[in-house]
Amino acid sequence: MRLGGVLTLVFVTSLFLYQKRRRLLVHIKADHEAERQAALEATRQSEERFRSLTKLSSDWYWEQDDQFRFVRLPGDLDQKTRSANDNHIGKTRWEMGAINLTDEDWKVHRSVLQSHQEFHDFEMMRRGKDGAAHWTSVSGMPIFDSVGQFKGYRGVARDITERKQAEEHIKHFAFYDNLTQLPNRRLLRDGLALALATSKRRQLYGALLFLDLDNFKPLNDKYGHEFGDLLLIEVANRLKTCVREIDTVARFGGDEFVVVLGYLDVDKNESRVLTSRVAEKIRTSLCQPYLLTDKREGSTAGTVEHHCTASIGATLFFGQEEREDEILKRADMAMYDAKQAGRNRIRFRETKA
């Protein structure tokens, strides 16, 4: 009887401990499940916050595999880059290309990726479905697993089209004449410096023409600056048709224009002949009658016919160590020679060399 009681007590105790342990395991499992669900919810909320922030900004997220092929591009890329997600997945960045990047640019970018370095503000320009230029700035960092094995890249991209357009507008304002859209005096000096360097390197003559309109002030005095502006615009258009694409036509100021001719000839006499031909073509074009129409709303001035000629000074340069100012001054003096000779003339001033 005593042995049976002991066995009963042991059984009851074991059963109690088993049920207590079972209840404890149930609670632990429930706690683990609650923690797992909380972690999943935290992750979901974090991703939702990320999507909300990227949606509100011009940024979007991307991932690539260890071969630098896109594997993830959340968000509405069509809205930001005007190209669909399926055009990116499975492709590398250079396979899709960019208008502003050369083969050498892509080579440098690939070397950065292959060495598993971070990169920032890598700029690409592509044409969208609408044919317009769209700029993207990309930054990325490498991904490694727990044992340090390279797995790919992740990063963000940003639409910088508006910023690029603003920069281009500022650049155009700084280097181009607002009225004629020709290069201004600042950009002219850059073009002349390049022409001098090219002349020295290629051992070819170049030339500079300095033009001043002969009958500009009477038009302004009689009809107003609006018609003077129309004349300057037409002069600029005619000048551009008289030269090659490699040449530079600039507005120097007021009614003065400058033309830089490059890649002429190794022979000085032949280069002078070529320069004279261009100068004569310009002189003939500019002395044709101008029909100027004021198209402003409410204007009653109508169309004005005006006759205007140009005095042209010319000089050659040939790789000599000479300042831009000296060449401009020599051509300017030749232009005054043309004025004194009766206007509507072409006159040369020789180089110092």
Q: What are phi and psi of 47, to 5 degrees?
A: -65, -35
Q: What is the CA radius of gyration of the chain?
A: 37
Rounded distance between C-alpha atoms, residue 277 and residue 171, angstroms: 34
Annotated catalytic residue within 59, 212, 247, 255: 255
In the numeric block, which tokens belong to residue 353?
A: 């060399």
Distances (CA, A) of 210 to 48, 86, 342: 65, 56, 16
Alpha helices in the chain (DSSP H): 2-56, 77-81, 93-96, 103-114, 161-175, 185-202, 217-223, 225-241, 268-286, 324-340
In the numeric block, which tokens belong to residue 148?
A: 């340090």
For residue 73, give every residue at least 6 positions away whose Cβ sits within 8 Å of its Cβ, in sequence order, or none: 60, 61, 62, 63, 85, 88, 89
Is 255 a catalytic site residue? yes
Rounded distance between C-alpha atoms, residue 272 and residue 352, angstroms: 15
> Vertex 287, ends 282 and 291: CA angle to 5°?
115
> Amino acid identity, residue 254?
G
- Which residues does the annotation mark as catalytic? 255
